[in-house]
Amino acid sequence: MTRASTVVQMLIRACFVVQLVLGGLFWINNARGLVPPHQLVGFILVIAIWTQAGLAARAGVSLGLVAFTVVWALVVPILGLSQTELLPGSAHWVIQVVHLLVGIIAVGLAERLATGIRGRTLARS
């Protein structure tokens, strides 16, 4: 269980770094041509978070935390795909910041699940 969780955790971290770089490019360079790769990596990230949640549930991590993480991770692509329609104009940066924060929290929740998996695995040993 721990090995699978570690692999998923590394995938989550890698996707997160890619997302931060691509998102930063959007903000500083208006690199709109990179939106499709950003979306693809975002979907991979969300699926990896859900995978981590499944591993955590199987390991006996709090089902409340697992469920909250699954729902929170669902918010990430919903917000990302709809953000161009939210607060258009000069206030759009607010939605971009919210999207960034929602993503950071989703990754943080996945990290917490990974910690819970390790703790549960060590407790059983």
Predicted TM-score (pTM) of this structure:
0.91
Q: How confident is the model at residue 27 (pLDDT cuts 50, 70, 90)?
A: confident
Residue found by looking up tokens 């995978």 in the block: 51
Query: How far apart, in whole angstroms, are the C-alpha atoms of residue 43 and residue 68?
Result: 18
Q: How confident is the model at residue 71 (pLDDT cuts 50, 70, 90)?
A: very high
Q: pLDDT tens digit string along 28-49?
A: 877 888 889 999 999 999 999 9
Query: How far apart, in whole angstroms, are the C-alpha atoms of residue 63 and residue 65?
Result: 5
Determine the distance from the C-alpha atom of residue 115 to the mean position of all C-alpha atoms in its chain, rounded to a whole number. Answer: 16
pLDDT of residue 89: 80
Query: How far apart, in whole angstroms, are the C-alpha atoms of residue 123 and residue 45?
Result: 28
pLDDT of residue 2: 83
- Quick one: average pLDDT of 81-107? 88
